[in-house]
Amino acid sequence: MSAENYILWAIAVPLIGSIGILLAGKAPNIRETITLITAVVMFTMVGALIHTVVGGGRPSVTLLEIFPGLDITFTVEPLGMLFGLVASGLWIVNSIYSIGYMRGNNEKNQTRFYFFFAIALASAVGVAFAGNMLTLFICYEVLTLCTFPLVTHSGKPEAMKSGRTYLGILLSTSIGLQLLAIIWTWHATGTLDFKAGGILDGKVSGIAVSILLFLYMYGIGKAALMPIHRWLPAAMVAPTPVSALLHAVAVVKAGVFTVVKVIVYIFGYEFLANSLTTNWLVYVAGFTILAASIVALRQDNLKRRLAYSTISQLSYVIMAAAILAPLSVMGAVLHIAAHAVGKITLFFAAGSIYTAAHKTEVSQLNGIGRKMPWTMGAFAIASFSMIGVPPTAGFLSKWYILMGALEVEHYFAIGVIIISTLLNAGYFMPIIYNAFFKEADDKNYPHADHGEAPLPVVIALTATAIGTVLLFFFSGLPLELAHQVVGK
Amino acid sequence: MELPVEIPGLLNYWIVIVLMMAGFYVVISQGNLVKKMVGLSVFQVAVFVLYITMSKIDGGAAPILDDAIKQYSNPLPHVLILTAIVVGVATTALGLALIVRIRDAYGTIEEDEIIELERNDD
Amino acid sequence: MSVSLSAHLPAIQVVLPLISAPLCVLFRRNGASWLIALIVSWLSLGISILLLEQVIANGPISYLLGSWAAPWGIEYKVDMLSAFVMLIVTSVGSISMIFAPNSVNSEIPGDRIYLFYTMYLLTFAGLLGITITGDAFNLFVFLEISSLSSYVLISLGAERNALTAAFRYLILGTVGATFYIIGVGLMYQMTGTLNMTDLAMRLPAVAETRTILVALGFVTVGIGLKLGLFPVHVWLPNAYAYAPSVVTAFLAATATKVAVYTLLRIYFTVFGTKIFAALPIDEFLLILSLIAIVSMSAVAIFQNNVKRLLAYSSVAQVGYMIIGISMVSVTGLTATILHLFNHAMIKGALFLVLAAVFFRIKSVKIEHMAGLGKVMPYSMAAFVLAGFSLIGVPLTVGFVSKWYLILGALEKGWWPVAGLVLISSLLAVIYFWKVIEAIYFKTRPQDAAIIHEVPITMLVPMWLLVGANIYFGINTELSVGAASAAAKMLIGGAP
């Protein structure tokens, strides 16, 4: 098969799989088998593209022309390659995890759950492989809409309320700001293709660049820049596999991925560096990092704490890209992968605790490390990655971001990174310490005699925890792809 | 045809305006549905007069092929207005039919009373 | 088809529904009347397609009625724009006729059903006549044929409010039509002609006179009343809400579209773009429609009756079309004409779903629609997709129109307009989502009657329109192609 076919299949396989899931709705075992097979085949299709892309190839396939001169095109370039690999690879692990979690908690409407999950993955990879901004926007919107039923899965009033926040913020930013920015770009340049070095140079200038950047950055609501971050904590009402894969990986990474894509391929970071009025983004992102970390410190609900941690980590990527130094852009690319593996592990652990012990609050976790050593061990490793302790993936990306900031002597960014590292440690370390070294104080708790979570759950979270470490030692592929993104 | 007094040239147009405004005012101000229809008819008739007036030429006769007639009025607006009159009659008939049905359904043809009843329906 | 017959297609297009209407009365059979309406609608659709093909291949068609030469006789004229609008009217008509029998039989007393189809055919003939005629006064006649019959159609609604809604529409509609003929009369007074092409040639010489400017004003207000232009839209919400369900679907998708067509025709074919320099009516329309798209979308949010909710949304959507007109640019008019087509597909589909809902639960109130997603899955899925199109989600037709409208605004440098259009779309998300939540996330009350999905004869037409929403959202060749060709023709001034 040619590389073009792999692209099409990578998107088509989960869509076909979703139909299979619907048809097999009455037979859970077949349904879950289909999900797993779909995930594996999809990952294989995405993986088959690595060779071409690393070799400098940019396979591209055009489906149809929507407007004269504007097509639905998928083109794989290094950044999309990396995001596609992360999303589809983690889907396999997440599917194993889902089986344990959904059955362990007797969730209703599981067919709907797996169906929309498959579509969400198809659109996430669509975002990754989008060859122009229109295609990206279409996949981005599909991703928003098909994750709504997942967020509101339980159908309870508070889930509905959160669902409204989720959809309201994501749709209003994308339709109200991003679409305007896209049409403006099209109007100004006559193209929406992603090109190395950007397409806007010489087409817009002065304050317009800053306004356009504002429209894009706040139009990409999935990147959760403050103050449009509220949808992410709201989305935590979803079942944990959704929070893990979608709201730590696919959806939020689609957001920051789009941010990097826009900065690198629409504006071109050299063009932005020469425009004086655009450095506000570093400050907004820096503020988001610190503010979200401080809010995370005060959250007792584990998933909400993780959500605010995600907001802060997403802004790392945005800030790194906005520093506009090649090394920091590389750091941004690496952080997309590093944070994905780490954060999914943390969510897996949170879901594991909920399934086994029915606990959701940080204050309930004293001594739980002894009953659930695998879960809390994985949690600890992933936390180290979040903080940036070697040998974990988080160290690697933080290193590049810092190097970039030092290169251009951006002291604000350096300061933010240092303070936020301390804050990260501040909200993760106590959990680990209490889990392992404090006595359990829940003798009267009805579920006190629990052990580890179901096996699929443990397998999944162990795998991603190991992945966090492996990514540090075997960082050749991500580094190579990141190199190619900045073209150095 | 000789008239005892000379009519100012634009008199017809003034009549059109007065009729039109009067009809329109009745449509807007009257709460009684039948009176509204009356106003609507007056309003339409004003337009008929407008068309007929514009076709009239000083000293023009009916458009008959005859050597004695040198000048005749434009017949086209008359024909157009024949059509418009038919439309007007149809509108009035339909409007009155609706009023009959409204009276059956609501027991009144006063608009404010109908609005009151409709509010209670919801 | 023989050559002689195909040369007479423009006349057949109008005459066919016109003479088949009395046939229904003669038969006095409900089933036969439906069959006649169905066959005539589909034949007209066929004729529309043939005419569009002829126009694309050979340019505009001029047909002289009774062979009286224009400008003395009445000329029928088919160009890109009228062929396109005819395609909209006939396709919605034929699709809603497949849908009609179940819905009509359940909503209209048995002894009046054949009259319903009679009136439908007359409305249909009137709407087609408006699009095809090249004569300003003849247009008035067709306008009244379609209006009078649609008053009757609306008054056939099940609740008594339908009567008052029809009566109010009759008053305002008649005032509108009368305004229109006043305008036409003034134009005739200055030029001595009623043929649109001929008017277009003679008007520039007198364009600056006060009479012509007054004529323009009268015509604008007159047609504005018909198309539901804010703030003279007051008849529309009740008329749509209380009319029989199929009527709402048909009228919402066609009647306002044809009125917008008339406005386009009068402004750009008859007056020409230069008239806007003499009277800034474009700015006047822009301001009104900006208020419309925001305020009417906001009002829609608070509606409890979904038909009325969508009616207010229609007023807002008409605002989009008028914004396109007020741009007086090729992109703007492309957006308007595209939206004529796209909005017909969207609202046709949505109102057909509501007709199906009414067929099953005898209500279209939001609270009564709770939990329908489970019991009527196919209808509700159609509703969701058509609603996405209304919001303007990518890959649907709604997105395509919005794209062109915003592009047009940016070309003009009208940033606030682009912003308001987007804000109005966000309001659309809110009012639409209210319905979605009720359908999918609320449960049907325990004591509610057990109902099933509607029969296939209702599902197929509904899904045909939904399919069109998606197909033309992805493959825009036909719709954008026809719309931009028509827009270029209008702006170019060539008749």
Q: Please write the tens of the pLDDT for every residue from A465-477.
A: 998 888 888 888 8
Question: Are residues A231 and A166 in contact, defined by beta-carbon separation less than 8 angstroms?
Answer: yes
Cβ contact A145–C388 (<8 Å): yes
CA–CA separation, C256 and C235 (whole Å): 12
Cβ burial, residue A190 (10 Å; 0-12/13-18/19+): exposed
Q: Is the pLDDT of residue A333 over 70?
A: yes
Beta bridge partners of A204: A201
Interchain contact B121–C (C-beta under 8 A): yes
Cβ contact A138–C395 (<8 Å): yes
pLDDT digits (tens, 9 = 90+) for C403-429: 999 999 999 888 889 989 999 998 998
Q: Quick one: average pLDDT of A2-7?
A: 86
Q: A266 by DSSP, 3-state: which?
A: helix
Range of the domain at A293: 279-488
pLDDT above 90 covers what percent of chain A? 20
Q: Quick one: average pLDDT of B89-108?
A: 93
Phi then psi dihedrals of residue C27, to 5 deg? -70, -35
CA–CA separation, C362 and C333 (whole Å): 40
- A402-438 per-residue burial string, b: 16 or more CB within 10 A, e: under 16: bebbeeeebeebeebbeebbebbbebbeebbebbbee
Q: Quick one: average pLDDT of C98-116?
A: 89
CA–CA separation, C120 and C36 (whole Å): 11
CA–CA separation, C28 and A167 (whole Å): 53
Cβ burial, residue C280 (10 Å; 0-12/13-18/19+): exposed
Q: Is residue A398 part of a domain?
A: yes
Cβ contact B91–C144 (<8 Å): yes
pLDDT digits (tens, 9 = 90+) for C187-236: 998 888 888 988 888 888 888 888 899 999 999 999 999 988 888 888 99
Q: Is the pLDDT of residue C2 over 70?
A: no
pLDDT digits (tens, 9 = 90+) for C223-254: 999 988 888 888 999 999 999 999 999 999 99
| Residue A242 per-residue DSSP state | I
Q: Which two tokens stand for residue A66?
A: 């929507």
Q: Is the pLDDT of residue C495 over 50?
A: no
Largest CA distance in chain C: 72
Q: Beta-strand (E) ranges in A383-469?
A: none
**Local confidence band at C1 (pLDDT 50, 70, 90 cut-offs):** very low
How confident is the model at residue A442, as a pLDDT? 64
Closest CA to C425 of C401, C454, C445, C459: C401
Residue whose structure tokens are 């006349």 = C11
pLDDT digits (tens, 9 = 90+) for C30-80: 889 999 999 999 999 999 999 999 998 888 888 888 778 777 788 898 989
Q: Which two tokens stand for residue C230?
A: 């804010």
CA dihedral A234, A235, A236, A241 (to 10 degrees): 180
Q: Is the pLDDT of residue A211 over 60?
A: yes
CA–CA separation, C469 and C464 (whole Å): 9
State CA C208 to chain mean position distance. Answer: 32
Closest CA to C156 of C192, C109, C193: C109
Rg (CA), chain C: 21
**Which chains contact A through at least 3 pairs of Cβ atoms less than 8 Å apart?**
C
Cα separations in angstroms, C178 against C69, C182, C193: 28, 6, 19
Residue whose structure tokens are 């009239």 = B56
How confident is the model at residue C63, as a pLDDT? 87
Cβ burial, residue C423 (10 Å; 0-12/13-18/19+): middle
Q: Which H/E stretch holds residue A265?
A: none
**Are β-strands C61-64 and C75-78 bridged in parallel, bridged antiparallel, or unpaired?**
antiparallel
Q: Is the pLDDT of residue A447 over 70?
A: no
Q: What is the 3-state secondary structure (H, E, C) of A202-214?
A: CCECCHHHHHHHH
Q: Which residues of A touch C480 (CB under 8 A)?
A: 67-68
How confident is the model at residue C20, as a pLDDT? 92
Q: Is the pLDDT of residue C363 over 60?
A: yes
pLDDT digits (tens, 9 = 90+) for C251-298: 999 999 999 999 999 999 888 888 888 888 888 999 999 999 999 999
Interchain contact B42–C (C-beta under 8 A): no
Q: What is the 3-state secondary structure (H, E, C) of chain C?
A: CCHHHHHCHHHHHHHHHHHHHHHHHHHCCHHHHHHHHHHHHHHHHHHHHHHHHHHHHHCCEEEEHHHCCCCCCCEEEECHHHHHHHHHHHHHHHHHHHHHHHHHHHHCCHHHHHHHHHHHHHHHHHHHHHHHECEHHHHHHHHHHHHHHHHHHHHCCCCCHHHHHHHHHHHHHHHHHHHHHHHHHHHHHHHCCCEHHHHHHHHHHHCCCHHHHHHHHHHHHHHHHHHCCCCCCCHHHHHHHHCCHHHHHHHHHHHHHHHHHHHHHHHHHHHCCCHHHHCCHHHHHHHHHHHHHHHHHHHHHCCCEHHHHHHHHHHHHHHHHHHHHHHCCHHHHHHHHHHHHHHHHHHHHHHHHHHHHHHHHCCCEHHHHCCHHHHCHHHHHHHHHHHHHHHCCCCCHHHHHHHHHHHHHHHHCCHHHHHHHHHHHHHHHHHHHHHHHHHHHCCCCCCCCCCCCCCHHHHHHHHHHHHHHHHHHHCCHHHHHHHHHHHHHHHHCCC
Nearest CA in chain B to C177: B44
Nearest CA in chain A to C484: A68
Question: Are residues C325 and C336 in contact, defined by beta-carbon separation less than 8 angstroms?
Answer: yes
How confident is the model at residue A203, as a pLDDT? 82
| Residue B107 per-residue DSSP state | S
CA–CA separation, A388 and A425 (whole Å): 9
Q: Which two tokens stand for residue A200?
A: 């806007």
Beta bridge partners of C76: C63, C133
Largest CA distance in chain B: 71
Question: Are residues C182 and B16 in contact, defined by beta-carbon separation less than 8 angstroms?
Answer: no
Entry field: residues in chain A: 488
| Domain total in chain A | 1
Beta bridge partners of A201: A204
Interchain contact C175–B (C-beta under 8 A): yes
Q: Could you say which residues from 104 to 143 on chain C have a Cβ atom under 8 Å away from some Cβ of chain B?
A: 137, 140-141
pLDDT digits (tens, 9 = 90+) for C123-160: 999 999 999 998 999 999 999 999 999 999 999 988 88
Cβ burial, residue A30 (10 Å; 0-12/13-18/19+): middle
Q: Is residue A445 part of a domain?
A: yes
- Could you tell me which residues come within 8 angstroms of residue A341 by beta carbon, excluding any fewer than 6 positions away? A86, A90, A382, A385, A393, A464, A467, A468, A471
* Cis status of the peptide bond prior to A239, with omega within 30 of 0: no
Q: B61 by DSSP, 3-state: which?
A: strand
Domain boundaries, chain B: 11-121
Q: Under the phi-then-psi rule, with left for phi > 0, alpha for psi from -120 to 50, and beta for the rest, what region is A305? A: alpha
CA–CA separation, A162 and A143 (whole Å): 17
Q: Is residue A42 part of a domain?
A: no
Cβ burial, residue C452 (10 Å; 0-12/13-18/19+): exposed
How confident is the model at residue A249, as a pLDDT? 83
Nearest CA in chain C to B118: C161
CA atoms within 13 A on the CB side of A219: 26
Question: Are residues A385 and A363 in contact, defined by beta-carbon separation less than 8 angstroms?
Answer: no
Q: Which H/E stretch holds residue A61?
A: strand A60-67
Q: Quick one: average pLDDT of C347-375?
A: 89
Cβ contact A175–C433 (<8 Å): no
Cβ contact A183–C403 (<8 Å): yes
Cβ contact C175–B114 (<8 Å): no
CA–CA separation, C195 and C203 (whole Å): 12
Q: Which residues of C touch A66 (CB under 8 A)?
A: 400, 474, 476
B11-121 fold: Helix Hairpins (1.10.287)
Phi then psi dihedrals of residue C51, to 5 deg? -65, -45
pLDDT digits (tens, 9 = 90+) for B57-77: 777 788 788 888 888 888 888
Question: Are residues A8 and A61 in contact, defined by beta-carbon separation less than 8 angstroms?
Answer: yes
Interchain contact C471–B (C-beta under 8 A): no
Nearest CA in chain A to C412: A187
Q: What is the pTM of this model?
A: 0.89
Q: Quick one: average pLDDT of A262-273?
A: 86
How confident is the model at residue C494, as a pLDDT? 44
Q: Quick one: average pLDDT of A74-96?
A: 89
How confident is the model at residue A443, as a pLDDT? 66
Q: Which two tokens stand for residue A219?
A: 């139009």
Beta bridge partners of A73: A62
Q: Quick one: average pLDDT of A450-458?
A: 81
Q: A367 by DSSP, 3-state: which?
A: coil
Q: Which residues of A touch C403 (CB under 8 A)?
A: 67, 183
Q: Which two tokens stand for residue A91?
A: 């889907």
Cα separations in angstroms, A101 against A163, A457, C216: 21, 7, 69
CB atoms within 10 A of CB B112: 9
Pick from C407, C441, C474: CB nearest A155: C441
How confident is the model at residue B6, as a pLDDT? 66
Q: Could you say which residues from 11 to 40 on chain B have a Cβ atom under 8 Å away from some Cβ of chain C?
A: 24, 27, 33, 36, 40
Give the lowest-confidence range in B96-100, C206-210, C339-343.
Answer: C206-210
Question: Are residues A63 and A71 in contact, defined by beta-carbon separation less than 8 angstroms?
Answer: yes
State CA A290 to chain mean position distance. Answer: 19
Q: Is residue A270 part of a domain?
A: no
Cα separations in angstroms, B21 against A53, A441, B35, C175: 77, 88, 15, 12
Give the lowest-confidence range in A152-161, A443-452, B47-56.
Answer: A443-452
